[in-house]
Structure 1
C-alpha cells in the first residue's frame, strides 16, 4: 500500500510538472513579445546602440537557445573532427556571432509586428516547428520559423531559425566546411574570432 501511494504521488508530481511546463509556441511568443516591447520603448536601441541590444539579447534570448547543437548543425560532419576543447570554443564564438547578428537586427527594428501561427504538435513530441510571420507595412510578410527541441531537464530550446525558407545554421555550413578543409578546425575558430572582433569594432 505504501509503495502504491508513493507511486501515485510521484506520478502526480510528474503530471503537474509537465502541465506547468511552457509550450514551445508560448515560449517563442513570450520571448519575442518581451524583446520587442523593450525595443519599442528604448530609444537608444532604436538609434543603433548595439551594446544595449546585446545586453537585451543576453538577458532575454540566450537562455532559450541550444548553441552547441546549432554549432554542430552549422559544421555538419566536421563537428566530429573537433576535440572537446575545440567544440567548446567553436560554440562560444558562434554564439557570439549569432548574438551580434541578432542584436544588429534589433537596432533596425521599427514598426514590424509578429503574427503567430498555430503549432502542430502531438502529445509526446520532443521536436517541433513554431511558425511565425514578420509583418511589415508596405511589404510582404517574412516567414520566420523556429526549430525547437525538448530537453529532459531544461525544457524547450531553440536550435535553428529558418528565415524565408533558409536555415540560419545551414546557411553557414559551406563557409565553415571550406575553412575546415583549408585550415582545419583551429582555422575555423580563428575565422570566427576575427569576425567577432570586426563586428565588435563596428567594421563591416
Structure 2
C-alpha cells in the first residue's frame, strides 16, 4: 500500500498547468483534470535535461505549476480537523490567537512539505499514460471524483480517483486522491494525528518543515519518503 501511494502521489503532479499552455477550464472538473494532465506530461518531458542537471528543479516545477490547481489550504484544514475543532472552542483571547497563528503556520509549512514530497516522487515519472473515465454530469455537486487509470507497461494498472472541489468562486481544484479505495489525505491525517495529540502542533510544524528542506533525491538514492 505504501508503495502504491508513493507512486500515485507522484502522478498527482499531473494536476499542474504549463506556464505557456492554454488557459485551463476551471469551471468543469473533468476538463480541468484532463487539460492539466496533458500539459504537464509535455512540461515534464521538456524539462528532463534541467531535472538531470539539478534535481531541485523539480521543486520549482511543483511550486510554479502544481500549486495553483491544488487546494492545499482545504487539505490542511482536513488534516488539522481535530485541532481546529478544539481551537474553535477556546475562550481565552490570547490562547485562541496563538491557535489561529499555529493553523496559519501549519498551512504554509504543509504547502512546502507537499512541494518537497511531490518533487521526490516526481522522479519516478517514466512516460506512464493516464486513461480517463467518461465525464459525468456534476450539476450542483461541490465535490467530484475524476476516475483515471494509470498504465505502466509490464505492471498492473492502478485505478486512481482525483478528488476535486468547487470553491466559492465556482472554480474546481484538486485536494485529494484515492488509490485502492483509500484516501491519500486521510492516510496523512492518520499519520500526523498521533504526533499532533502527543507532541503538539508546534512539533508537527517543525517536523514537516525539516522534511520540506531536505534535498530532492531520485528514488533508490535514499530520497524523501
2:76 aligned residue: 71
Which ranges in structure 2 are unaligned for 5 or more consecutive residues? 1-24, 88-98, 218-222
Aligned length: 184
Distance 1:21 1:38, change over 3 A: closer
Tell me by how many angstroms 1:142 deviates: 1.2
2:193 aligned residue: 177
Name which of 129, 132, 156 aligns with 2:145: 129
The structure where helix makes up a greater share of residues is: 1
Tell me by how many angstroms 1:115 deviates: 0.6
RMSD (Å) for aligned C-alpha atoms: 2.2
1:113 aligned residue: 129
Distance 1:117 1:190, change over 3 A: same
Deviations, residues 152-175 of structure 1 (Å, cap 9, x unaligned):
226111121223322121111222
The 4+ residue runs of structure 1 with deviation greater than 6 A are: none
The two structures have a TM-score, normalised by structure 1, of 0.80
Say which one has the larger Rg: 1
2:92 aligned residue: none
Which ranges in structure 1 are unaligned for 5 or more consecutive residues? 1-19
Distance in 2 (CA, whole Å) between partners of 1:157 and 1:179 is 28
The two structures have a TM-score, normalised by structure 2, of 0.73
2:52 aligned residue: 47
Distance in 1 (CA, whole Å) between partners of 2:122 and 2:50 is 7
Q: Is 2:109 the counterpart of 1:93?
A: yes
Q: Which has the higher contact order (CA 8 A, sep 6+)?
A: 2
Deviations, residues 10-57 of structure 1 (Å, cap 9, x unaligned):
xxxxxxxxxx75311111111111111111222236638432222122
